[in-house]
Structure 1
């Protein structure tokens, strides 16, 4: 039988579902509907399935689970919806309902739980990278989701984000002498990123130091809860998020930090909604709201800070990919482009920029066939640009894209680091600066900019 979900949350889901007036704008931007044209794989179709599931008060039908699992949670439907439907809340509640009903087979439940545990545990990830390396070729040849996990672990882009000089074990970042301190921030290291993308965090520290921002060290590495929340494991996600709220809330209340710098947009899109996640929590509600207000993507923070220009990157053509958790989850589109242009790059927008690359957290593991088709589509659009480098604000997207596009990949903050005196991202070491050419694309329309990100400091 289905475990109870608080009636207030079920009412919230029913209200969100009732807001849909079937305009159909969402079908034009939904990646799964675009690929196959299946109505039940569109937001509109999933709304009907979710409404039926919640009204039945019974375990969901197998077909319903299949179509909900195919949803990427990219939220492209939400930003295009003329009625302003809150799809994010609805799909999260639906997934929680599915998981608590225990309709999945035991192997499926174990695999999903294992993936969630692995990707949110830096210790387990480090161990797997060491022990699994000799078996990686064998795992890649396996069919289905195990093979997808192996192929992801061997993605070419992973080499671009390993800490320099120590590809497996954590290595200390080179810390430059900071400028006179202007502000202090906590830096979210990220669960998977602290292991798989440690160089991104190192680059962030170097850039913040040059800008006169002090990084206040956290007591340990905290998981924000995003991964488990999107898999439907809400109670586990809240426990993880609560640790973050307590820790960062204390730092904010004490005046130790001014902001929380986030380099993983998938985490940022959840942290910035902590106020909703803890809305009914008398103990943590106020602190969660403070944390949500203080969390900012690294590109938003750096966009308004003075940075030196080394000119080693001048004229490099960047194909900028909007991670869904940035474009749709946080409505951040203008700041990363403005930052890169300020640092001497030529920025090109990728065609079909509203369509997900297929990474979507654990989607490229759990739905490998659909994910690969989206990755190939994204790579074809990038090929039309022929850039020097592909940039994004999310590690998962960059790893996914590197599997299908034969160009160097780099996090936005790595490019800013290089442009302000840091090392060139891997694959760009031999780049020869050239005169700045006319921009390859127009600025993002002002309507897409997120107003509450402006004038942060």
Structure 2
């Protein structure tokens, strides 16, 4: 793509980065076939190629983003399916992040949009605030129709998405180390997360149990917090950098205490963000090197387990699992087959969902900010899941789990919960009726040498 930036503009490091990305695009349009918003809406401006042109013109004009540009950039899910498709290697992820930051710095938004964005940024990354907000949600449910009537669709979506009942508190809560009772084979740091530990704390419990039973010490570092993805996708780069810095500081202290084999995330959206810390903090002199090291150690839990010998499962089942590969896992981290293989090795029958490359519509806060499009994508995904008639759905991201739960006729759980169950853990919450389809693998009898000696 030909660009027309002035030398003064290119002296700005961010503009120079944007230009290098833009120049890789050859207008081929292959990205349009896999872009969820273009597939739904058929509008070129709601495709990656169309948004690239909008971003190019916006940055070259060096003017505040127009309402039209805001509208179409806001509709991007950041699912990154286009990056999996692009033959030219266009770094769309960093381009859309740059564009969002530019929009927030130069353009104004209506009051209700600013209100919702501030609520999301001020609540979701903080577990205690988020837990309190969920407890208040029932008070707002009678008013959702009125909120929609007055144009507050996002507030209504926030209330609708809140669970009716909070799950029990996690077994392993707060900073500390879950030490293995076996010989220690590895030591990892785990991101506890923000929204996930409120919505489904059993995911962290399952991760810790599964790893600790296989000789892995699991550390939750004091001072670590939200990964920063939620604020970053809202265009608040400065806020995301502050979250990232706190994690880098907290994890660097643990790295100084002894060898760490990996920094584990069991929410794929968070994992994608942590793997990008080296890029996010590259202009921060005190953090750049440490952030790059942390990005190099970052692993999705399925990625770590896929390279780690778990041994034979303790339980076997006839359950038919529909595996949903979260966009942040299959496109953001380029991990698709490892979770599927782990489930198969654990004794489950795994089936693929049609159109598995298409986003379910969760995408961080997208199902709140763009409820109509998110709802259409959710319904499309649910229809495809129902076509293959599974017993349950497995996913590697809390956003996908929350988006699909209640929309299909079967439970939706995290992949690691099923692995924990197969390797000796308890029945995952909500799967109690399916326990009769799971049986223990008989333990081989321990025999002595004398048993083989006959007089």
**TM-score, normalising length: structure 1:** 0.88
RMSD: 2.1
- Alignment match, 2:262: 259
- Alignment match, 1:63: 68
Partners of 1:34 and 1:88 in 2: CA distance: 19
Which among 152, 157, 165 is matched to residue 161 of structure 2?
Answer: 152
Give 3-state SS (helix, strand or coil) of 1:361's partner.
coil
Partners of 1:5 and 1:218 in 2: CA distance: 40
Which among 208, 216, 221 is matched to residue 218 of structure 1?
Answer: 221
8 Å contact kept, 1:75–1:329: yes
Structure 1 unaligned blocks of 5 or more: 436-457
Partners of 2:147 and 2:140 in 1: CA distance: 11
Deviation, structure 1 residue 206: 0.7
Give 3-state SS (helix, strand or coil) of 1:348's partner.
strand
Partners of 1:356 and 1:293 in 2: CA distance: 27
Query: Larger Cα Rg: Structure 1 or Structure 2?
Result: 2
- Alignment match, 1:357: 360
- Alignment match, 1:92: 97
2:315 is aligned with 1:306: no
Partners of 1:422 and 1:6 in 2: CA distance: 56
Q: How many aligned positions are there?
A: 421
Deviation, structure 1 residue 6: 8.2
8 Å contact kept, 2:421–2:428: yes
8 Å contact kept, 2:140–2:159: no
8 Å contact kept, 2:181–2:215: yes
Partners of 2:290 and 2:224 in 1: CA distance: 19
Partners of 1:20 and 1:185 in 2: CA distance: 39
8 Å contact kept, 2:324–2:393: yes
Deviation, structure 1 residue 177: 6.5
Distance 1:208 1:6, change over 3 A: farther
Give 3-state SS (helix, strand or coil) of 2:357's partner.
coil
Partners of 1:140 and 1:194 in 2: CA distance: 30
Partners of 1:179 and 1:6 in 2: CA distance: 56
Partners of 1:420 and 1:241 in 2: CA distance: 34
Distance 1:307 1:142, change over 3 A: farther
Partners of 2:142 and 2:345 in 1: CA distance: 42
2:320 is aligned with 1:317: yes
Structure 2 unaligned blocks of 5 or more: 1-8, 440-455
Partners of 1:23 and 1:199 in 2: CA distance: 44
Partners of 2:260 and 2:145 in 1: CA distance: 44
Deviation, structure 1 residue 221: 4.2
- Alignment match, 1:283: 286
Which among 51, 74, 78 is matched to residue 79 of structure 2?
Answer: 74
Give 3-state SS (helix, strand or coil) of 1:46's partner.
helix
Greater mean alpha carbon deviation, residues 407-416 or residues 194-203 = 194-203
Superposed CA deviations along residues 131-166 of structure 1, whole A, max 9, x for unmatched, are: 3334445447741111111111137xx87xx3xxx2
Which among 236, 240, 243 is matched to residue 240 of structure 1?
Answer: 243
- Alignment match, 1:15: 20
- Alignment match, 1:444: none
Specify which structure has the bigger relative contact order, considering alpha-carbon pairs within 8 angstroms and separated by 6 or more residues.
1
Distance 1:396 1:22, change over 3 A: same
Distance 1:23 1:343, change over 3 A: same
2:437 is aligned with 1:433: yes
Deviation, structure 1 residue 15: 1.8
Which among 333, 345, 348 is matched to residue 345 of structure 1?
Answer: 348
2:29 is aligned with 1:29: no
**TM-score, normalising length: structure 2:** 0.88
Deviation, structure 1 residue 208: 0.8
Give 3-state SS (helix, strand or coil) of 1:430's partner.
helix
Superposed CA deviations along residues 383-439 of structure 1, whole A, max 9, x for unmatched, are: 01111110111000011011421210110110001111112223321323379xxxx
Partners of 1:333 and 1:115 in 2: CA distance: 29
Partners of 1:112 and 1:219 in 2: CA distance: 28
- Alignment match, 1:455: none
Which among 49, 74, 79 is matched to residue 54 of structure 2?
Answer: 49
- Alignment match, 1:441: none
Distance 1:395 1:55, change over 3 A: same
Partners of 2:325 and 2:11 in 1: CA distance: 35
